[in-house]
Chain A
Amino acid sequence: MGGVEDDEPASKRMKLSSEALIHLSNGSTVKESIVGSSRDLMARPLQSDGGEEVVGSKGVIKKVEFVRIIAKALYSLGYIRSGAHLEEESGIALHSSIINVFMRQVLEGDWDESVATLHNIGLTDEMIIKSASFLILEQKFFEFLDEEKVMDALKTLRTEISPLCINHGRVRELSLSIVSPSHCFTVRSPKQNTSRARSRTKLLEELQKLLPPTVMVPERRLEHLVEQALGLQRDACMFHNSLDEEISLFADHQCARDQIPSYALQVDANGISLKHKLSGHQKPVSSVSWSPDDHQLLTCGVEEVVRRWDASSGECLSVYEKAGLGMVSCGWSPDGKWIFSGVNDKSISLWELDGRELECWKGQHTLKISDLEITSDGKQIISICRETAILLLDREAKVERFIEEDQTITSFSLSRDNRFLLVNLLNQEIHLWSIEDDLKLVSKYRGHKRTRFIIRSCFGGLEQAFVASGSEDSLVYIWHRGTGELIEALPGHSGAVNCVSWNPTNPHMLASASDDRTIRIWGLNNLSAKQKDTHGNGIHYCNGGT
């Protein structure tokens, strides 16, 4: 067998002898009896250039391992002759001769012989030998049952399996299966599946998982390594924004920038025609948001009331107010059945659509004109509660968590999977926080400009892999969320860009709103300009003014 992985220099390597001791890389030793035929001889002595042979430019791939997994892949693909030829030509055997014998015995059902061979492979871990013996004898047991040789099966159980003294739970199940060969018990389906002997090939696969990988190369190892590499390439690809990208093995995967929306498809100054003018608020309107079903709008007057409108008729459906107090922000529940709003006495109120107040949380909860969001499962309400802290309130557990920052927080936005929060800070940084289990700062994004106004940022793209933000230098900034690298700074607006919103269903479309009184829709260069509404569940704010 050619499995010589030796960390010592050539001079210390064992010479060919009739019983060779081979040190395997996992520290265990394999004793081998060499059979006389030429196929079974150890590999031709390797070049004695000191050290082991390696392939690849980095010198980390051991040649013997490399050849063995290629041979394994050839056999898996069904190219038996090619596999055998490779073994012969390279002088590196996929498996040692004793393993080949073992495998043959298992496939042919020579159970007792295979258990004996198992002991001769030279494994040092007793448990592995016992577990493997257990599997083989279990197969013997079930094959007896299949052939209706009940007493033989019982004998195997009593004299061979139980004495191993492992896996007593399984022994119990086996004893039961002696009396239930014809599935006469009604309720036990998950266990029923194992009461028939499985195929010997499956048994071999199970055994191979049990034995150390250097002894028996795992199935599909090469495929697994390749998939791993492709996965890493995909994760590292900063512009990856399309589902239908096919990854080829011939070149490293790298999307071109052209997957990021960077082309102004439509510039609307007065473009979007006015449908309704919703009047009723006495004070400036600080926020507006669409209902989850897109039929209604919720607006909030600054320290005034919250109003609910029908979007198609323009009619005001409800007014939510609290005596002596003013509302500062508002939002919809994910199911559209209730609304919540921040009140200027620092509490948060929950309302039924018909105007009845449901709940009220008091305390240091909201500031004036602050962001207020709710997770899509309706469980957590998130709001800015102090200048430098964000509160995450779990409605059911009544637990409060806080994100603390050093700088003043200006705005935040929640990712669609409820796992991340983007926090905009006074010092022109955007921080990405993970909010799933522990609150953790994950990334920071810099480059945009913010000095005077509130700028909003958002998640976007395929699997929300990007972060976009407006900026006072009139550019739209886009970063790769994972690496934090700035990918694009899109020119086009002639005034501060206040707010951006990435299309939730089309990863190739982005909208931005600016002080230059226009809204721009950004898309891919080769797409025809499509006007798609980007409101969806998003909340859009305008700086001051109605």
Chain B
Amino acid sequence: MDVDPRLYEQIAVNDTDVHNIIMSYLVHNCFKETVESFIACTGMKQPSDYLEDMEKRKRIYQFALEGNALKAIELTEQLATNLLEKNKDLHFDLLSLHFVELVCSRKCTEALEFAQMKLTPFGKEQKYVEKLEDFMALLAYEEPEKSPMFHLLSLEYRQHVAESLNRAILAHGNHPTYTAMERLIQQTTVVRQCLNQEHAKVIHQTFCHEYLVQRNSKLH
């Protein structure tokens, strides 16, 4: 590409676009108060149906993040019926969160029973058998934190499941599942990589640093 990338400085940016991007991000992540105050500050139109659901989604997300999967499932069923039936992977992941809770609290018998009742029915399909094996392996160790599957007990895993649930609920309500912000960052990163490859440069700076920190040359 022979075009000078700094040509982007010539492009005009629409304020409304920016507001929408920010709004979509806030709504996706259920920052209710921030949404309200943002609307007040910018005079944007308030998307009506979002707000109610946002509160419910927020609670569901929190429960999932804490590991209280049963509550999360209950509320999800209320908010979006049949969602979990249609998303078997998600359903399994949520149930597995509960299983992990039981294992962590060393309630082995309960964990075993729960697994036998709720998780093994998924085992009829091959792809779940391996996942099931992963979780069952946790039971084999007296200190699951030291087992090979310790990552299943981590916050990252719970975050991953909670986010998948959030996206599924949004999709169920025909809302976009990815925020514009996420997409923008993803696309920009790809473009940067391409450009840097062309000029045989290695990307040293993180996205943040590249765009949010003022470069020395621009200070003067």
Stretch at the interface among B62-70, B139-147, B169-177: B139-147
Residues of chain B at interface, number, CB under 8 A: 23
Assuming the contacts A158-B141, A168-B148, A188-B129, asked whether A175 and B136 have C-beta atoms less than 8 A apart, the reply is yes
- Asked if A184 is at the interface (CB within 8 A of a chain B CB), the reply is yes
Task: Determine if A180 and B120 form an interchain contact, defined as CB atoms under 8 angstroms apart.
Answer: yes
Question: Known contacts A154-B112, A173-B133, A187-B126: does B120 contact A179 (CB below 8 Å)?
Answer: yes
Q: How far is the CB of A541 from chain B (nearest CB, A)?
A: 60
Q: How far is the CB of A167 from chain B (nearest CB, A)?
A: 11
Q: Contacts A176-B136, A179-B136; is A162 near B141 (CB within 8 Å)?
A: yes
Which of B115, B116, B136 counts the most chain A CB atoms within 10 A? B136
A159 at the interface (CB under 8 A from B): yes
**Cα-based distance from A186 to B124 in the complex (angstroms):** 6
Contact B120 A178 (CB under 8 A): no
Q: Report how many A-B pairs have Cβ atoms within 8 Å.
A: 64
In the complex, are the beta carbons of B140 and A151 less than 8 A apart? no
Q: For B155, what are the chain A residues with a Cβ–Cβ distance below 8 Å?
A: none
Q: Is A150 an interface residue (CB 8 A)?
A: yes
Given contacts A151-B109, A168-B148, A178-B112, contact A157 B140 (CB under 8 A): yes
B123 touches A161 (CB 8 A): no
Docked CA distance A414–B48 (Å): 85
Instruction: Return the CB mask of B50-72 against A: 1 if under 8 Å, else 0.
Output: 00000000000000000000000
Select the residue from A158, A179, A180 with max chain B CB neighbours within 10 A: A179
Chain B residue, CB-CB nearest to A168? B148
A476 at the B interface (CB under 8 A): no
Nearest-CB distance from B204 to chain A (Å)?
A: 39
| Residue among A159, A161, A168 with the highest chain B CB neighbour number at 10 A | A168
- Give the residue of A163, A168, A172, A188 whose beta carbon is less than 8 angstroms from that of B136: A172
- Chain B contacts with A in 132-182, Cβ cutoff 8 A: 132-134, 136-142, 147-148
Closest B-chain residue to A185, C-beta based? B123
Greatest chain B CB density within 10 A among A154, A173, A175, A185 is at: A175
Residues of B within 8 A of A174 (CB): 140
- Contact across chains for B120 and A154 when beta carbons are under 8 A apart: no
In the complex, the answer to whether A179 meets B142 with C-beta atoms within 8 Å is: no
Among A151, A154, A172, A186, find the residue whose CB has the most chain B CB atoms closer than 10 A: A172
Indicate the size class of the contact surface on chain A: 20 to 34
| List of B residues within 8 angstroms of A185 by Cβ | 123-124, 129
Which of B108, B129, B140 meets A187, CB within 8 Å? Answer: B129
Contact of B140 among A150, A161, A180, A188 (CB under 8 A): A161
Say if the beta carbon of A255 comes within 8 Å of chain B.
no
- B140 engages A162 (CB within 8 Å): yes
A179 and B137 in contact, given A168-B148, A185-B129 (Cβ under 8 angstroms):
no
Binary flags per residue of A170-201, CB closer than 8 Å to B gives 1, else 0: 01111110111000111110000000000000
Measured in the bound complex, the distance between the Cα atoms of B102 and A485 in whole Å is 77
- Which chain A residues in 236-262 approach chain B with CB under 8 Å? none
Distance in angstroms between the alpha carbons of A168 and B116 in the assembled complex: 22
Once the chains bind, are B123 and A175 in contact (CB under 8 Å)?
A: no
The residue in chain B whose Cβ has the minimal distance to the Cβ of A157 is B140
Quick check: B140 and A175 within 8 Å, CB to CB? yes
Asked if B139 contacts A158 (CB within 8 A), the reply is yes
* Given A171-B137, A172-B133, A173-B133: A179 and B112 interface contact (C-beta under 8 Å): yes
List B contacts of A173 (CB < 8 A): 133
Please state if A175 and B137 are interface contacts (CB–CB under 8 Å). yes
C-beta contact mask, B111-134 vs A, less than 8 Å → 1, else 0? 010011001100110100100111
> Which chain B residues border A158 with CB–CB below 8 Å?
108, 139-142
Q: Report the minimal beta-carbon distance from A169 to chain B, rounded to whole angstroms.
A: 9
Question: Is B142 a contact of A162 with CB atoms below 8 Å?
Answer: yes
Contact of B112 among A150, A168, A188 (CB under 8 A): A150
Q: Of all chain A residues, which has the CB nearest B121?
A: A184
A188 to B141, CA, bound (A): 24
Partner of A180, one of B112, B123, B142, B148: B123
In the complex, how many angstroms separate the beta carbon of A308 from the nearest chain B beta carbon? 54
- The answer to whether A176 touches B133 (Cβ under 8 A) is yes
**Are A179's CB and B115's CB within 8 A?**
yes
Which residues of B sit under 8 angstroms from A188, Cβ to Cβ? 129
Structural contact, B140 and A171, CB atoms closer than 8 A: yes
Residues of A within 8 A of B147 (CB): 162
B136 and A154 contact, CB distance less than 8 A: no
Chain A residues closer than 8 Å to B109, beta-carbon distance: 151
- By a beta-carbon cutoff of 8 Å, the part of chain A in contact with chain B is 150-151, 154, 157-159, 161-163, 168, 171-176, 178-180, 184-188
5 closest residue pairs by CB, A with B: A175-B136, A172-B137, A175-B140, A176-B133, A175-B137
A sample of 18 more A-B contacts (CB under 8 A), given A150-B112, A175-B140, is A151-B109, A151-B112, A154-B108, A154-B139, A158-B139, A158-B141, A163-B142, A171-B137, A172-B133, A173-B133, A175-B137, A176-B129, A176-B136, A178-B136, A179-B116, A179-B120, A184-B120, A187-B126
Q: List 14 contacting pairs A-B, 8 Å CB cutoff, sorted by A.
A: A157-B140, A158-B139, A158-B140, A158-B141, A161-B140, A162-B142, A171-B137, A175-B136, A175-B140, A176-B129, A176-B133, A176-B137, A178-B139, A179-B123
